[in-house]
Amino acid sequence: MAAMSMDIATNFIGFAKLQANTLARVRTRVFPLLWRTKLHQSQTIRISSIDLKTVSSFSNSKRRVRSFTTSAATTQSESSDILTKIPPDDRVPATIITGFLGSGKTTLLNHILTADHGKRIAVIENEFGEVDIDGSLVASKTTGAEDIVMLNNGCLCCTVRGDLVRMISELVNKKKGKFDHIVIETTGLANPAPIIQTFYAEDNIFNDVKLDGVVTLVDAKHADFHLDEVKPKGVVNEAVEQIAYADRIIVNKTDLVGEPKIASLIQRIKNINRMAHLTRTEFGKVDLDYVLGIGGFDLERFYFFPSLQLQEHHADHHAHDHTHDPGVSSVSIVCDGNLDLEKGVHDIFQGSPDRLWGLDEPRINKIVFIGKNLDAQALESGFKACLLILHETMSVSRTRK
Ligand SMILES: Nc1nc2c(ncn2[C@@H]2O[C@H](COP(=O)(O)OP(=O)(O)OP(=O)(O)O)[C@@H](O)[C@H]2O)c(=O)[nH]1
């Protein structure tokens, strides 16, 4: 009897059908990243269906037993038939929405929250800057039934990863039965690998929550620029990682570019991750079945697609010693006063009216700049110059992760 998750069991059943040398490669490529440290300390691994037994090292953990039985676990035949008996998986599904800065993650999330799917969704919003922008944009779209928890001032893949574990545990412990699905929106700078790892490595999460899928938004207009970016030595390209780890890819903002550019971008994406489903859209308008209830993050493709293994290698290193591009920081400005909207806009700017201000609600401007080598003072004075009347209550915060 071995203890393991259904998702992982399913993958292992698939793996067991592979050739012996294949299994060895899968294990060394996938495990270092996605499996808890205990596995590294487990007994010698033999290449056969015996591999299934190795997983029983998990039974020492606090992990709730998700068991299966195998009639062939004691034979060394590579072609053994494996009979499985998998208990129903009643864990809460969680979806990670990722994608580079401005690719349309919040737009997709709002589409999900306002659609008629009958699901009660708990949302975890992660923002790189100190000031919460997306949270308010999402909150205004919810009916009130959903929970929204904010994780500001850091990235889920590194500085606030511990908070993610705590938040999911709290959600599950205090509100179990009150929601059907968790959706997590990462920052645009997140490397998904360490976040995915959290779902498999943390007992607190693994026992109650299963990773339903990783959905990656790709900005049709700016993706090439981000994919081309050469990072400092030892720093991964997050835009590539986000595509590499996706179960579902949404090429968004297709209204902003022509067909040839979309076609070449899709080809480029497929060269990074051929296993993920891909669709193209505007303003995140996709069928909800495409993004929710996918049925489980797919570990298997880490073997089948070579460039993913390469990514995994980087991500493994990254997971242990994760830093964002050291040049990237954020500057947040919060102040009241009316802005002259004609001033200060040189690039694409788009705004849309949201809900009306509340009667006693303070009318506050919030702006977060995320970028490389930001000059906080210049941004602050530039912003001040756009105010119609200068207010002294401006607060500026800077963060570097
Ligand atoms: N033209 C166009 N604009 C879009 C589309 N999808 C989203 N937008 C706009 O692009 C901007 C950024 O969208 P968001 O949904 O906030 O993107 P995000 O990925 O959550 O952004 P960050 O949280 O800053 O990383 C918003 O002004 C959206 O209205 C699209 O398909 N076409």
Q: Which two tokens stand for residue 205?
A: 């999460």
DSSP per-residue string spanning 45-68: PPSSTTHHHHGGGGGGSS----EE
Specify whether 245 is located in the same domain as 295.
Answer: yes
Q: What is the pLDDT of residue 45?
A: 28
Cα 357 to ligand 1 centre (Å): 22
Domain closes at, from 290, 320, 350:
320
What's the number of domains the chain is made of?
A: 3
Cα 278 to ligand 1 centre (Å): 19
Say if ligand 1 is within 6 A of residue 99 CB.
yes
Specify whether 366 is located in the same domain as 241.
Answer: no
338 or 251, which is more confident: 251
Say if ligand 1 is within 6 A of residue 257 CB.
no
Cα 238 to ligand 1 centre (Å): 18
Residue 315 lies in a domain: yes
Specify whether 148 is located in the same domain as 264.
Answer: yes
Residue 76 lies in a domain: no
Residue 77 lies in a domain: no
Residue pair 262/251 in contact (Cβ under 8 Å)? The answer is yes
Residue listed under structure tokens 């929550």: 209
Specify whether 298 is located in the same domain as 268.
Answer: yes
What are the Cα distances from residue 31, in Å, to 27, 37, 180?
5, 9, 29
Cα 331 to ligand 1 centre (Å): 20
Q: What is the pLDDT of residue 151?
A: 66
Least confident of 38-42, 206-210, 234-238, 268-272: 38-42
Q: What is the pLDDT of residue 356?
A: 82
pLDDT per position as a tens digit, 4-24 = 333 333 333 333 333 334 433
Residue 103 lies in a domain: yes
Domain closes at, from 320, 341, 361:
320
Pocket test residue of 96, 98, 100, 107 for ligand 1, highest count of atoms within 8 A of CB: 107
For the chain, how many helices (H) and strands (E)? 16, 12
Residue 308 lies in a domain: yes
DSSP state, residue 300? T
Specify whether 16 is located in the same domain as 122.
Answer: no
What are the Cα distances from residue 41, in Å, to 26, 293, 335?
18, 34, 53
Q: What is the pLDDT of residue 172?
A: 86
Residue 84 lies in a domain: no
Model confidence at 54, in pLDDT bands (50, 70, 90)?
A: very low
Residue 80 lies in a domain: no
Cα 143 to ligand 1 centre (Å): 21
The residue contributing the CA closest to ligand 1 atom 2 is 253
Closest CA to 201 of 251, 173, 165: 165
Domain span holding position 23: 2-68
Specify whether 180 is located in the same domain as 264.
Answer: yes
Which residues touch 228 (CB under 8 Å, ≥6 apart)? none
Residue pair 239/100 in contact (Cβ under 8 Å)? The answer is yes
Q: Is the ipTM of this complex over 0.90?
A: yes
The Cα–Cα gap between 335 and 131 comes to 12
Least confident of 73-82, 168-177, 178-187, 240-249: 73-82
202 or 134, which is more confident: 202
Antiparallel, parallel or unpaired: β 67-68 and 2-3: antiparallel
What are the Cα distances from residue 248, in Å, to 63, 95, 278, 360?
29, 11, 6, 42
Specify whether 127 is located in the same domain as 262.
Answer: yes
- Indicate which atom in ligand 1 lies nearest the CA of residue 253: 31
The residue contributing the CA closest to ligand 1 atom 32 is 253
Q: What is the pLDDT of residue 382?
A: 84
Residue pair 47/118 in contact (Cβ under 8 Å)? The answer is no
Q: What is the pLDDT of residue 75?
A: 40
Distance, first Cα to last Cα, the chain: 44
Specify whether 112 is located in the same domain as 197.
Answer: yes
Residue 177 lies in a domain: yes
Give percent of the chain with pLDDT exceeding 90.
24
The Cα–Cα gap between 250 and 264 comes to 15
pTM above 0.90, yes or no: no
Please state the φ and ψ torsions of residue 65, each to the nearest 5 degrees: -75, 115
Specify whether 63 is located in the same domain as 197.
Answer: no
Across 332-362, b (16+ Cβ under 10 Å) vs e yields bbbbebeeeeeeeeeeeeeeeeeeeeeeeee
DSSP state, residue 25? H
Specify whether 312 is located in the same domain as 352.
Answer: no
Model confidence at 114, in pLDDT bands (50, 70, 90)?
A: confident
The residue contributing the CA closest to ligand 1 atom 3 is 253
Say if ligand 1 is within 6 A of residue 351 CB.
no
Specify whether 128 is located in the same domain as 226.
Answer: yes
Q: Which two tokens stand for residue 40?
A: 């590294």
The Cα–Cα gap between 254 and 263 comes to 11
92 or 341, which is more confident: 92
Residue 280: other Cβ atoms inside 10 A: 17
Alpha helices for 131-231 (secondary structure H)? 134-139, 161-175, 192-201, 203-206, 223-228
Determine the angle formed by the axes of helices 192-201 and 161-175, rounding to 10 degrees: 50
CATH code of the domain containing 226: 3.40.50.300
Give Cα 47 to chain centroid, integer Å.
32
Specify whether 157 is located in the same domain as 301.
Answer: yes
310 or 62, which is more confident: 62
Model confidence at 137, in pLDDT bands (50, 70, 90)?
A: low
